[in-house]
Amino acid sequence: MAPLSQAELLRKAAGPISTSDFIAASGLLAAEQASSFLDAVFEATPFSALHRKERRRSRTGSIAKIGIGGRLLRKKTAGVDDATLQKPLFGDVSYTTVASRLDWEVEEEVFEDNIEGEGLEQHLFNLMTGQTGRDLEDLHFNGDTADVSVDAPFLTQNDGWLKNLAGSATTHRVNGGAVAGGVIEKAHFFDALNAMPNKYKTQGGLRWIGSPTLFERYVEYLTSRATAAGDAALINGQLSQVLGIDVVRVPALPNTRFLLANPQNFIAVNTRDIRVRRTVEGREAIRTDKRFFAIFLNDDPIIEEDDGVVDTYGMVA
């Protein structure tokens, strides 16, 4: 099958990607298709739709950043050159993407004995695309190359944001277990907000990032208080803001930690050489009467500025 034309690619980008869109010779998605596929993956979860994405060709490299500092203005004196020159501050954040895969198989009889018929293949592909997004978000937060739990085959693919924050010298870490025994209350949010440097508070875009259970517990805390806020929480039952800052619920986050940060500070680096393979041929496919599918991609979660994150830990599990 020849690569899709520009018109076909634009049409496909507006809708779901079909397994019939694959470039059969290589199994690679074209650049436009790869971007569309990643868009679909990142739309699968609320936080993934907010954080920053960098799509690079190279599997290793760095992302440049630039700063100019503050208090740069100086008094002007006529006819005097005080030899003061300000220079931009350049830096970079390195990344090394790790290859991951998601493969599945379906018996041919399934496509014959269901109401969707051949449309089931597209349905399954959409489901797997969504699951890829949820798994990536989980790995982005919880990845730990030193993990030895039963989930080690998944978690050890890469080190995630939480591990990197815990090991950072510049992240602002707040021991939530030292307040009310780690049972969420307003003091935890005040402590986290106070730990955030003022320069990040004025830029906008800050979010409370935590598990749904943690925010539900805070709603329960509010409803137990005989105040207008408690009555509103009891009536509405949904928490959208704390201290005027929006809440983002991340199912993959443990109940023991929550973050205060701008989601754009979290970066998922992906390469465009995404491979989506499908086959109904070959000895195994013929002898087992199955279709085989696989998604391959390279990914690395990094943080641009650890100093712009407050990590509150030690909460009740």
Mean pLDDT across 284-297: 84
Out of 31-40, 44-53, 182-191, 213-222, pick the least confident: 31-40
Q: What CA dihedral angle connects 113, 102, 253 and 302, to 10 degrees?
A: -150
User: pLDDT tens digits, residue range 35-84?
Assistant: 777 777 777 788 988 999 998 888 899 988 766 666 777 777 787 777 77
**pLDDT of 307 above 90:** yes
Residue of 53, 64, 36, 29 lying closest to 273 (CA atoms)? 29
Task: Say what the pLDDT of residue 216 is.
Answer: 92
Q: How far is residue 248's CA from residue 239's CA, in Å, rounded to a whole number?
A: 10
**pLDDT of 21 above 80:** no
- DSSP summary character for residue 18: P
**Helix residue ranges, H only, 43-159:** 108-112, 119-142, 152-155
Q: How confident is the model at residue 92 (pLDDT cuts 50, 70, 90)?
A: confident
Q: Residue 194 burial by CB count (10 A; 0-12/13-18/19+): exposed, middle or buried?
A: exposed
What are the phi and psi torsion angles at 199 (to 5°)?
Answer: -65, -25
Cβ–Cβ under 8 Å, residues 206 and 262: yes
What are the phi and psi torsion angles at 278 (to 5°)?
Answer: -145, 135
**pLDDT of 262 above 80:** yes
Task: Say what the pLDDT of residue 87 is.
Answer: 67
Out of 5-9, 40-44, 206-210, pick the least confident: 5-9
Strand boundaries in the chain, DSSP class E: 52-56, 60-67, 89-96, 98-107, 172-175, 207-210, 241-242, 245-249, 258-261, 266-271, 275-279, 290-303, 310-313
Q: How confident is the model at residue 17 (pLDDT cuts 50, 70, 90)?
A: very low
pTM beyond cutoff 0.85:
no
Task: Say what the pLDDT of residue 11 is.
Answer: 38
Task: Say what the pLDDT of residue 88 is.
Answer: 66
